[in-house]
Structure 1
Amino acid sequence: MKEIPSHLAQSTTSTWTKTTPIIFSGVCMRQKSAKLLPDLGENPQDEPTVVGVRCEVHSRGTATKPWLAIGFSDRGQMTGADLCVFWTDWRDQVQFQNAFVDEHGRMVISGDNICRNFRFGRQRELIKFTFYRELDTCSPGHYVIERGTTHLVWSYGAGPLYQLSGVLAAGDETGHVMVELLKPPVGPPSNVKSYKEIKIAAKSVSVPAEETTYWCSVQKLPPYFADKHHILHYQPGIQSGNEDIVHHMEVFHCEFTPDKEVPLYQGLCHDSKRPPEIDVCKRVLAAWAMGANSFTYPAEAGLPLGGPDFNPFVMLEVHYNNPGKMEGRVDSSGMVLTYTQDLRPHDASIMELGLEYTEKMAIPPHVVSFNLSGYCIPECTALVRREFDQSSGCKF
């Protein structure tokens, strides 16, 4: 198969486990649309508009005439999914069709095939195929790929098939993974003369075969953070192949006096035997969750990191989401912080709101707006510094 040129690739995501027969790789294509350019008044030299995704699928199995479905759904459920299906008929002819999944879990052929530019190759038990799919097909009923989290669903069957319509979409094996297909080309600020990066990462964690795991890693910053720096930008550094299990990550500062030593704990965040010192590591320095982008501070501000009054210990918390309870996964993901010693005019800060994790935090479906109210107790508001008043634009 033809390789995707590097200049066309905006982002990739992949998932693979020893228990699943599919490797998925999605690449966002940067492609100009001649039809849209005049209407938008864009310069032909401007950055291209992302209009679709090109997907590459690998499957390894013992079936000689299998079928494989890759598609998208609102909640990761197969019912209602919009699928692109590779299948082999009884005459050993390869077919590639677009299908919806009805309320009974069976595939129904779509009237307009939006799974385009299909190519495939086969070598023994390995099958590879690629296809292109527009973000918004402008056809009724088809899934619209947007910014944020996309629920990717897959299924696999031994085959062969007489026809695709009416086949149970779940097949012999099925699953789903949450991915971020559309990522903006955001990186460290280009107007900064000198900046460096540091990765706060887990260290070869053997991810438990449990649905939910919170893993904490305490680390000591290098000695040069005895001087104050500013964080300009941060982004996730997820180990390749583990995008499906790393749900969210946070970097916390351990707010002790500068000379306080904190045990370099590596283990379950809620372990009863964890050192009590890590309970003080609660001030957020960086946070990321599946579907989120990287974050860049405005040019006039940076988040303080280090300094003579700054304790040098930080803690990374990683939430592993492993609903399949897969075994043998090892992870060294973390957060990459971009920082500089050339301090900006203002110190940034982070305010945490809505820390009560209950069902009332969930936004109901189909609502135009959603209000969630909270209250600060006097013990908290009394700590707000006087300078944060109406004259500074902040009201409490």
Structure 2
Amino acid sequence: MAKLCIILQFIISSLVIENSRAISSPLAPYTTYKHSIELQKYVADLWWTVDDNEQEITFELHMKTTGWIALGISPAGGMTGADIAVGWVDQTGSVHLQDRYASADELPIFDNTTIDWFAVKGREVSGWTAIQFKRLLDTCDIMDVPIKSGTNILIFAYAMIDPVPSGPNGEISYHGSRRGSRALPLRSYVDPPSEDIFAGLDYVEFRLNNYVVPPTDTTDYCKIYKVPSSYSVKRHAIGHKTIVDSASQDLVHHLLMYECDSTAQFNDNNLPAGLCDQIYQEIAQCTSNIANGWAVGGDYMVAFPKEAGYPIGGDFPIKYYMVQVHYDNPNLLSNRTDNSGIRFYIGKELRQYDLGLLTFGTDSSAVALAIPPKAQKFIVDSYCSANATMGGEKIKDEICLHRMIYYPRMNNMYGCMNMNSPQAWLSMMNTSSSSLNYTELQQWLLNLTWTPERAVQWQEFYNTVSRVLIYGAAPNLQFDMMPSLPKYEDLKPVPCTKDPSGNKNTTRPSPTTFSQGTTTNKAISYVSTIRQDIFVFLNLILIVMTVIFM
């Protein structure tokens, strides 16, 4: 049967799929909108419509409070650099909306360039505040964030009281823990399906069973599951639901499901389960192929394209799966249990294609990525030439210029990756040795004294370094040398067409790429392979390390 690959890109914090359409607010929206999401269950809901002709977006935000409410567009997921609309309804029923800008994780200031958030309507009913407001997609305001195509990061917050004084210049109180964020493509959002479309279908679940979350700040728990024996003939899952236990929703950060290698064998009466680091040797064959993923802000319900289904059972070679759950428990809470997991809905008929996932990203190792301490920004380039994007002659021509690519279940290309060449590292280390030892490289990195000048040199090293390409199917790997990445000419930015008025001298604070000050001597922190959020391509990487560095 033909295979269809759906691309899944992981950027920490990658795994973003839009949230569900479940709505908590008892208030009906003012009008019909194209899209809606529940930002926080029983607390916050958002509706919006994009008008491409007017290059304008209209929001309606409902929150369970009679105080101020806020919605912001963030460049990176936090408050810093965010463009924020703060609104409330006063005791006379009048609606107020402020245009603010956050230069740091502190009280956002009033936008003193142009006012670009505009209130339309607002009301308070039954303990809820609802405000309809709008702004241009790109305001050309240096204190605003353009709403571009692709993923946008929304932040939201609220308080229990109105600003004081309750007027246009009212000052807002601190929101405390009453805040959140969501990442979603505002301009290309596709409403997720209702679970009703899967009613009456068989399903298979891979869920934890009252796992006790440790009172530590970060935990990765892994558990192996076997495909139910009842699926003696291959079936197609046509959608899935991520089940996040409501009792531990504040702890579950993300959940990944892996296919175990077809050669993996386990004792079915005692399948491995435990902290991922501690059982790594047992689960090593289940850390490459990703079958599913979810993270905070993601959609709980996903329907696959009508042409494709995810194969389960029968002659499909995958007989075991592993679920990895990452918990964030900064308050070190104890006696908390979790029953989160994945549910696959099984279609009644096979579809035309088998569905698989393509994974690409950067490995967390000294060879792949060594970021200077305190650097707020560090760029590792990956390129794909125009002839490759238009259909290169070989698969490796299309994928090898990324840092790491993994194709599941392909006959002629198991995976591909590139890394800084051993010769380049030897030159950087200024050593007379003719071969590079990975342990020595790691120790050299740990002993480096980092200065702002060293950080600049380090970025230039990554920009110009020669690369070694590794591709093929283990153990028959092939190696090519590449003196440098191909030259890349970026697209020319399109100038904003709106002429902003107001104070022309206002400038947005520029982020620094390195903390200035005294010289520091700090070790670079390396995360073990099993502790990274996404540990893909592991078997190939281990072979590569053995071939190149030993």
Q: Same fold (TM over 0.5)?
A: yes
8 A Cα contact 2:254 2:296, kept in partner: yes
Q: Equivalent residue for 1:268?
A: 275
Residue 191 of structure 2 is aligned to residue 185 of structure 1: yes
Partner SS for 2:470: coil
Partner of 2:476: 382
Q: Report what 2:242 is aligned to.
A: 236
1:336 to 320, 335, 343: 343
Between the aligned partners of 1:286 and 1:323, the Cα distance in structure 2 is: 26
Does residue 148 in structure 1 map to residue 151 in structure 2? Answer: yes
Give 1:77's aligned residue: 78
- CA distance in 1 between partners of 2:475 and 2:298 (Å): 30
Could you say which residue in structure 1 is the equivalent of 2:110?
A: 108
Query: Could you tell me how far apart the structure 2 residues matched to 1:355 and 1:348 are?
Result: 24
**CA distance 1:135–1:324, shift in 2 (3 Å):** farther
Cα pair 1:229 1:339 within 8 Å, conserved: yes
Percent identical: 19
How big is the alpha-carbon RMSD for the aligned residues of Structure 1 and Structure 2?
4.9
Which residue in the other structure is 1:25 paired with?
44
Tell me how far 1:8 sits from its aligned partner: 5.5
User: Helix, strand or coil for the counterpart of 1:82?
Assistant: strand
Shift of 1:57: 1.0
| Separation in structure 1 between the aligned mates of residue 234 and residue 477 of structure 2, nearest angstrom | 24
**Equivalent residue letter for 2:180:** V
Q: 1:107–1:353: structure 2 CA closer, same or farther, 3 Å change rule?
A: closer
Q: Secondary structure at the match of 2:230?
A: helix
Q: Which residue of 2 aligns with 1:132?
A: 132
Letter in 2 for 1:111: I
Residues 235-254 of structure 1, C-alpha deviation per residue, up to 9 Å, x if partnerless? Answer: 53445697775443221233
Q: Secondary structure at the match of 1:225?
A: coil
SS class of match (2:283): helix
Verify the 8 A CA contact 1:210 1:322 in the aligned structure 2.
yes
Q: State how far apart, in whole Å, the 2-side matches of 1:351 and 1:86 are.
A: 43
In structure 2, the CA distance between the partners of 1:166 and 1:195, relative to structure 1 (3 Å rule), is closer
- 1:291/1:231 CA distance change after superposition, 3 Å: same
> CA 1:257–1:245 in structure 2 vs 1: closer, same or farther (change >3 Å)?
closer
Cα deviation, residue 280, structure 1:
2.9
Q: 1:160 to 1:112 in 2, by over 3 A?
A: closer
Superposed displacement of residue 349, structure 1: 4.2
Give the 3 Å change call, closer, same or farther, for CA 81–164 of structure 1 in structure 2.
farther
- CA deviation map 1:43-96 (0-9, x unaligned): xxxxxxx95442211149xxxxx545443322333343333334588x998753
Contact 1:56 1:128 in 2 (8 A): yes
Deviation larger for 210-219 or 6-15: 6-15
Q: What residue number does 1:254 align with? A: 260
Per the normalisation by structure 1, the TM-score is 0.65
1:4-33, CA deviations, whole angstroms, 9 ceiling, x for partnerless residues?
4998584423337xxxxxx6422334x696
Task: Give 1:13's aligned residue.
Answer: 38
**1:96-152 Cα shifts (integer Å, max 9, x gaps):** 322213537443166344343211136xxxx42112344755534444556535241
Check conservation: 1:156, 1:174, Cα contact below 8 A.
no
Q: Which residue of 2 aligns with 1:3?
A: 28
> Among 195, 216, 224, which residue is 2:222 paired with?
216
1:315 aligns to 2:322 (yes or no) = yes
The residue that corresponds to 2:60 in the other structure is 54
Distance of 1:240 and 1:284 partners within structure 2: 25
- Whole-Å Cα distance in 1 between the matches of residues 183 and 382 of structure 2? 24
Give the residue type in structure 2 aligned to 1:221.
V
Aligned twin of 2:122: 118
- Tell whether the 8 Å contact from 2:216 to 2:329 is kept in structure 1 after alignment: yes
Kept in 1, the 8 Å contact 2:117–2:133? The answer is no
Q: Distance in 1 between matches of 2:222 and 2:203?
A: 21
Separation (CA, whole Å) in 1 of partners of 2:349 and 2:314: 13
8 Å CA contact retained: 1:218, 1:263: no
Q: Give the AA of the match of 1:14.
A: L
- Cα deviation 1:342-381 (Å, max 9, x = unaligned): 334554444544451368499x9899x8533423356627
Deviates more, 1:99-108 or 1:290-299: 290-299
Deviations 1:164-220 (A, max 9, x none): 6484x67262564332455513559xx99x964434333455555554332323333
The one-letter amino acid paired with 1:107 is I
For 1:131, the aligned partner's letter is: I
Instruction: Give the unaligned 5+ runs of structure 2.
Output: 1-25, 384-401, 404-417, 419-468, 479-550
Would you say the 8 A contact 2:212–2:335 is kept in 1? yes
**CA contact under 8 A between 1:75 and 1:151: conserved in structure 2?**
no
CA distance in 2, matches of 1:70, 1:206: 35
